[in-house]
Amino acid sequence: MTHYTFPKHFFWGSATSGPQSEGRFPDDGKGDNTWDYWFQQEPHRFHNGIGPDKTSQLYKHFREDIQLLKATGHNSFRTSIQWSRLFPKGTGEVNPEAVAFYNNYIDELLANNIEPFINLYHFDLPMALQEKGGWLNRDAVLAFEHYAKTCFELFGDRVRYWFTQNEPIVPVEYGYLYQGHYPCEVNLNHAIQVGFHSALASSLAIKAYREGKHDGQIGIILNLTPSYPRDPSNPKDVKAAQIADAFFNRSFLDVSVKGHFPKDLVKIIKALNMIPDYQPKDLAIIQQHTVDLLGINYYQPRRIKAKETPLPTNPHIPMPDDYFDYYDMPNKKINPYRGWEIYEKGIYDILINLRDHYGNIPCFIAENGMGVENENRYRNEAGYINDQYRIDFYKDHLRYVHQAITEGANCLGYHVWAGLDCWSWLNSYKNRYGLIEVDLSQNAQRRMKQSGLFFKQLSTQNGFSD
């Protein structure tokens, strides 16, 4: 039998976000964000017509939910403040109902010895700002800076771990290239501008945090998806994988940790004549205000080969995919419900890359999880879901996390997605991820799954045995 013991004070917990968990109620004072608006306009796009108003209703259930987090062994938990809850118009007056809610939420976590990890932005731009151009407009950057300062002032006396953004590449690629987020554009020029403004906004928030002399750390959460070439001995495949990595990983990783954009990506953008608008001081701000701590979301690898398919014409819209093709590797392990490859070693490769090329920055696994459809199939006689597949998924990844730590990677914790089943954008509740079931048909009743019992044991023992 092998026992995998993790470092002392390791962070065991889970993650969610405000827009995916809180819900919306008549008396809460929250303003519309882009998801609220999009659902109002096109509810048919959302699986089973379930929108952000019908999420897990944590706004009303947070005390019960925190007891369940405690029962599943959490010593830490990440969520986000909803910008449109705190500032219904994105700027202006603070919503007192939001201040009261987040104060109570944070205090309840601390009272149960659960360290709050608070993220500021999780894909939920206030609609009032989107109507003015959203992240294309520099005013959104300044509004975010003010929003961040306000959060630090209101809650920074108790929150020691802050994160500026979750997966900032996602609103860029899905909002402005692949039409999975509002405003559903296909415009690389806009995507580049939005990416630059997002990076600048993160740096300005970090600057504000440090100038406020708050007692804690501030970082960012990035979805790092390793780009593997089809044939590592083929220079064309290797170059294609490097370009994909520059677009989707290093675009924010290099900025956040090293303070500059990847040279190979800048070269491509210059060749396309798509350099974003910026002010001379912006690059210095980005260079000087990098993160203390990096959160890593890992779900799947990216398989890449040299460009083989012809570029579309009439007219041709430049896209990242002009520089590579995706490679469908045969015989891969796959989660059929998401269509995602399961490649556990990817989590090790990320941590070793950070060790070797990013100063071994302090980091933690901020999301790792398995979404499964129709989990009722696995309900046992006692009425609980026996999700052994999720337990196996965690263990298979944790073995590689443990290996990376023994080889010197500076990994401080492991958070799963998610503690409770939560709403997932256009997919709503199609795939469930939680340690704890949320039954929307039964007044959002909560029930622990078998994985929740496992996670309690994992945390208590600070490891597991095979």
| End-to-end Cα separation, the chain, in angstroms | 5
- Catalytic site residue 131? no
- Please give the share of the chain, as a percent, with pLDDT higher than 70: 100
Q: Say which CATH class 3-465 falls into.
A: alpha beta
Rounded-to-10 torsion of CA 38, 195, 270, 311? -40
Domain ranges (residues) in the chain: 3-465
Catalytic residue among 22, 145, 367, 437: 367
Report the phi/psi class of residue 278: left, alpha or beta, with left for phi > 0 and alpha for psi in -120 to 50.
Answer: beta
Mean pLDDT of the chain: 96
pLDDT, tens only, 262-274: 999 999 999 999 9
pLDDT tens digits in sequence order for the chain, 466 residues long? 899 999 999 999 999 999 999 999 999 999 999 999 999 999 999 999 999 988 889 999 999 999 999 999 999 999 999 999 999 999 999 999 999 999 999 999 999 999 999 999 999 999 999 999 999 999 999 999 999 999 999 999 999 999 999 999 999 999 999 999 999 999 999 999 999 999 999 999 999 999 999 999 999 999 999 999 999 999 999 999 999 999 999 999 999 999 999 999 999 999 999 999 999 899 999 999 999 999 999 999 999 999 999 998 778 899 999 999 999 999 999 998 888 999 999 999 999 999 999 999 999 999 999 999 999 999 988 889 999 999 999 999 999 999 999 999 999 999 999 999 999 999 999 999 999 999 887 778 899 999 999 999 999 999 999 8
- Predicted structure pTM score: 0.95
pLDDT, tens only, 421-437: 999 999 999 999 999 99
The pLDDT assigned to 344 comes to 97
Closest CA to 422 of 13, 14, 17, 12: 17
- Catalytic site residue 64? no
Catalytic residue among 167, 173, 375, 437: 167
